Chains A and B, each alone.
Chain A
């Protein structure tokens, strides 16, 4: 590799990094602007100011933001866990057993994942209003499964297909009971795939806006993405941009940490069986 070649690659990589990070950097900068600075129409703040963060954590916006944060974390985690547990059972069946209908199950999961969520919102809105699930955690967790379950089934089926199942037999010959073979051999081999699937499923639930905005009306269940559009400025006449940016950063930080820690696993999960962004 020539030095020129290396220099080229550094330039290209920098371009990619700027592409990926610029909008994030912008919103970080915006969140650090003082109320007077927000409308200065410049990229950088004139001075770093934490008042937007104070506003959402301790100030007037805390009643809007903090419950939303709790809702988002709780609802997304529950929806992820349920989806991954059920998908693990299904993917095991699909990857391991031979039975009529397994292609149908995969096709169904695919069909659900391309379903326009807005089409479900209208009927769900009516049903939930009738049976009292409107504006509750359960009322969001159930529709979130329509987002997390199909992708989990696909991703896990792809992972499970790669597991060398004959190792289970090797373990039995080595003296293991069926349960020991499963616990000592299959579980350690399957765990990374299950974990990766959980990350991807969580990202998808975390990203939801349609259900969040349509099926909630108060801070009882409203998640952060929906709450962002209810922000108002410190006073009625001020842009809420600073507070929204601060809240946006708070919900983006976990995403960035997960990406930094598990980028390799996420890429393998997305490319092995994923069908949806």
Chain B
């Protein structure tokens, strides 16, 4: 269990273009950190630099305060689960799991190796497959063997490179829970790369969001969700993604294609210096069908009126899609954002996640009710979140840190008991 620190890390390839520019983040003991971002964000490169498979062009990598930039992977004593599992095809499952122990010459006796392998196999339910070769295993079993190889030794940290991306949806959710449980029990520092924001949100104590090699925000999942620093993070975190509406800031109101609304006084204050044309972000789950909102509550919120294009009924909720036209200038900014997020279409519709009580049907006009305090406003040029509340962000990060410490202590207590 170790502390990993990245200080001003830069990676440049032959063409001089920085694949990673000036990334600094510190990973505490026992912390589960996610590196997330769309393809080309440099998240895997960063992980491979930590483990020692890629050279670090500039900056320092510290493990337990020791600079390891120039150490070989085996000297760093980190365990890694590869995206394609990287199992050795000529070895059995048992031999695969035992391989790191055998390489650590003299450190483990024959009996200890056997014992550790069987303990790992038990934990991962691989006992019946120990004598098989990887070629005869299912995808999920291979994934577990790769994990077994990581947990069998007392590595300083676990590194995961998109470990679930080759599994089908159902298995992915199962293994996700399994990884979370194991990390909690073993309380090992973990760095996990994924492009899937759901994995990032569910697994991580902290999440580092990367875009084109630049660290956007490094915070707890809840802080990313409630207080994103910019358009990119806001659009990346959350599913379905946040809606972005072009708005004009005039007469103390925000005029959107679906009508005008006012922000609370404190937020309005923050927009005093802001440009006239802005982007308003409202999460799909913040909308409600005004018809289902109580009279007294309705007055405290704002309402937008729009026509429903398509509805999708999912049982516990209804998705309503509402197209709109945007000014070319704003539209360009939104299209660019969508490309950054690996999207394909252009974002000229609003999605509302509604209670199934709604009676709205395709082609109907609908009044969408929302709490204006939950609206975020972004500068379309810089992408900056103009309404971000640093006080709240600080509170959230302190809360999550406290929760993490409690969990870590519980795990330690259990370990000493066991």
Tell me the A residues contacting B by CB distance below 8 Å: 164, 166-167, 169-178, 180, 184-185, 188-189
Tell me the minimal C-beta distance from A196 to chain B in angstroms.
16
Tell me the minimal C-beta distance from A111 to chain B in angstroms.
31
Evaluate contact between B86 and A172: CB separation under 8 angstroms. Answer: no
Instruction: Determine the residue in chain A with the shortest Cβ distance to B103.
Output: A175
The residue that B103 contacts in the complex, of A164, A166, A174, A188, with Cβ under 8 A, is: A174
Residues in chain A near residue B2, CB distance under 8 A: none
Please choose the segment from B27-35, B70-78, B295-303 that sits at the chain A interface, where 4 or more of its residues have CB less than 8 A away: B70-78
Q: How far is the CA of A146 from the CA of B72 in the complex (A)?
A: 42
Name, among A170, A172, A175, A185, the residue most crowded by chain B CB atoms within 10 Å (CB to CB).
Answer: A175
Instruction: Determine the residue in chain A with the shortest Cβ distance to B75.
Output: A175
Tell me the minimal C-beta distance from A137 to chain B in angstroms.
37
Q: How far is the CA of A169 from the CA of B103 in the complex (A)?
A: 14
Q: How far is the CA of A171 from the CA of B72 in the complex (A)?
A: 12
Residues in chain A near residue B99, CB distance under 8 A: 171, 174, 184
Q: How far is the CA of A174 from the CA of B149 in the complex (A)?
A: 8
Tell me the minimal C-beta distance from A14 to chain B in angstroms.
34
Interface residue B82 (Cβ < 8 Å from any Cβ of A): yes
Tell me the minimal C-beta distance from B307 to chain A in angstroms.
52
Interface residue B9 (Cβ < 8 Å from any Cβ of A): no
Type the 1/0 row for B80-122, where 1 means its CB is closer than 8 Å to any CB of A: 1010101011100000000110011000000000000000000
Residues in chain B near residue A167, CB distance under 8 A: 86, 88
Evaluate contact between A180 and B73: CB separation under 8 angstroms. Answer: no
Size bin of chain B's contact surface? 20 to 34
- With contacts A170-B80, A173-B53, A174-B100 taken as known, whether A189 is within 8 angstroms of B74 at the C-beta atoms is no
Instruction: Determine the residue in chain B with the shortest Cβ distance to A187.
Output: B90
Evaluate contact between B82 and A170: CB separation under 8 angstroms. Answer: yes
Residues in chain A near residue B52, CB distance under 8 A: 172-173
Evaluate contact between A166 and B73: CB separation under 8 angstroms. Answer: no
Evaluate contact between A169 and B84: CB separation under 8 angstroms. Answer: no
Evaluate contact between B90 and A166: CB separation under 8 angstroms. Answer: no
Q: How far is the CA of A130 from the CA of B47 in the complex (A)?
A: 63
Interface residue B396 (Cβ < 8 Å from any Cβ of A): no
Residues in chain A near residue B82, CB distance under 8 A: 166, 170
Evaluate contact between A175 and B74: CB separation under 8 angstroms. Answer: yes
The residue that A172 contacts in the complex, of B73, B84, B88, with Cβ under 8 A, is: B73
3 closest A-B pairs by CB: A170-B86, A174-B100, A175-B103
Interface residue B209 (Cβ < 8 Å from any Cβ of A): no
Interface residue B51 (Cβ < 8 Å from any Cβ of A): yes
- With contacts A166-B84, A188-B90 taken as known, whether A176 is within 8 angstroms of B53 at the C-beta atoms is no
Evaluate contact between B89 and A169: CB separation under 8 angstroms. Answer: no
Interface residue B208 (Cβ < 8 Å from any Cβ of A): no
Residues in chain B near residue A185, CB distance under 8 A: 88
- With contacts A167-B88, A188-B90 taken as known, whether A173 is within 8 angstroms of B103 at the C-beta atoms is no
Tell me the minimal C-beta distance from A159 to chain B in angstroms.
14
Interface residue B79 (Cβ < 8 Å from any Cβ of A): yes
Evaluate contact between A175 and B86: CB separation under 8 angstroms. Answer: no
Chain A contact residues: over half helix, strand or loop, or mixed? Answer: helix
Known: A174-B100, A175-B77, A188-B90. 14 other contacts (CB 8 A): A167-B88, A169-B73, A169-B86, A170-B82, A171-B88, A171-B99, A172-B74, A173-B79, A174-B74, A175-B74, A175-B100, A175-B103, A175-B104, A185-B88
Evaluate contact between A173 and B74: CB separation under 8 angstroms. Answer: yes
Tell me the minimal C-beta distance from B395 to chain A in angstroms.
39
Residues in chain A near residue B149, CB distance under 8 A: 174
Evaluate contact between A176 and B84: CB separation under 8 angstroms. Answer: no
Evaluate contact between A172 and B90: CB separation under 8 angstroms. Answer: no
Q: What are 11 inter-chain pairs, A to B, with CB distance below 8 A? A: A164-B86, A167-B88, A169-B73, A170-B88, A172-B53, A173-B74, A173-B80, A174-B79, A174-B103, A175-B77, A176-B103
Tell me the B residues contacting A by CB distance below 8 Å: 51-53, 72-74, 77-80, 82, 84, 86, 88-90, 99-100, 103-104, 149, 153
Tell me the minimal C-beta distance from A160 to chain B in angstroms.
15
Q: How far is the CA of A169 from the CA of B76 in the complex (A)?
A: 13
Tell me the minimal C-beta distance from A233 to chain B in angstroms.
54
Instruction: Determine the residue in chain B with the shortest Cβ distance to A191.
Output: B90
Tell me the minimal C-beta distance from A172 to chain B in angstroms.
4
Residues in chain A near residue B53, CB distance under 8 A: 169, 172-173
Instruction: Determine the residue in chain B with the shortest Cβ distance to A185.
Output: B88
Q: How far is the CA of A178 from the CA of B99 in the complex (A)?
A: 15
Q: How far is the CA of A189 from the CA of B89 in the complex (A)?
A: 8
Residues in chain A near residue B84, CB distance under 8 A: 164, 166
Residues in chain A near residue B79, CB distance under 8 A: 173-174
Residues in chain A near residue B72, CB distance under 8 A: 172, 177-178
- With contacts A166-B82, A166-B84 taken as known, whether A173 is within 8 angstroms of B90 at the C-beta atoms is no
Tell me the minimal C-beta distance from B173 to chain A in angstroms.
26
Instruction: Determine the residue in chain B with the shortest Cβ distance to A176.
Output: B103
Name, among B79, B82, B89, B103, the residue most crowded by chain A CB atoms within 10 Å (CB to CB).
Answer: B103
Residues in chain B near residue A189, CB distance under 8 A: 89-90
The residue that A177 contacts in the complex, of B74, B78, B89, with Cβ under 8 A, is: B74
Q: How far is the CA of A89 from the CA of B86 in the complex (A)?
A: 24
Tell me the minimal C-beta distance from A243 to chain B in angstroms.
47
Residues in chain A near residue B51, CB distance under 8 A: 173
Name, among A171, A174, A178, the residue most crowded by chain B CB atoms within 10 Å (CB to CB).
Answer: A174
Residues in chain B near residue A180, CB distance under 8 A: 103
Instruction: Determine the residue in chain A with the shortest Cβ distance to B51.
Output: A173
Name, among A170, A177, A178, the residue most crowded by chain B CB atoms within 10 Å (CB to CB).
Answer: A170
Residues in chain A near residue B100, CB distance under 8 A: 174-175
Q: How far is the CA of A176 from the CA of B104 in the complex (A)?
A: 8
Residues in chain B near residue A171, CB distance under 8 A: 88, 99, 103
Q: How far is the CA of A172 from the CA of B88 in the complex (A)?
A: 13
Residues in chain A near residue B77, CB distance under 8 A: 175
Q: How far is the CA of A47 from the CA of B11 in the complex (A)?
A: 81
Tell me the minimal C-beta distance from B108 to chain A in angstroms.
11
Q: How far is the CA of A185 from the CA of B86 in the complex (A)?
A: 11
Residues in chain B near residue A174, CB distance under 8 A: 74, 79, 99-100, 103, 149
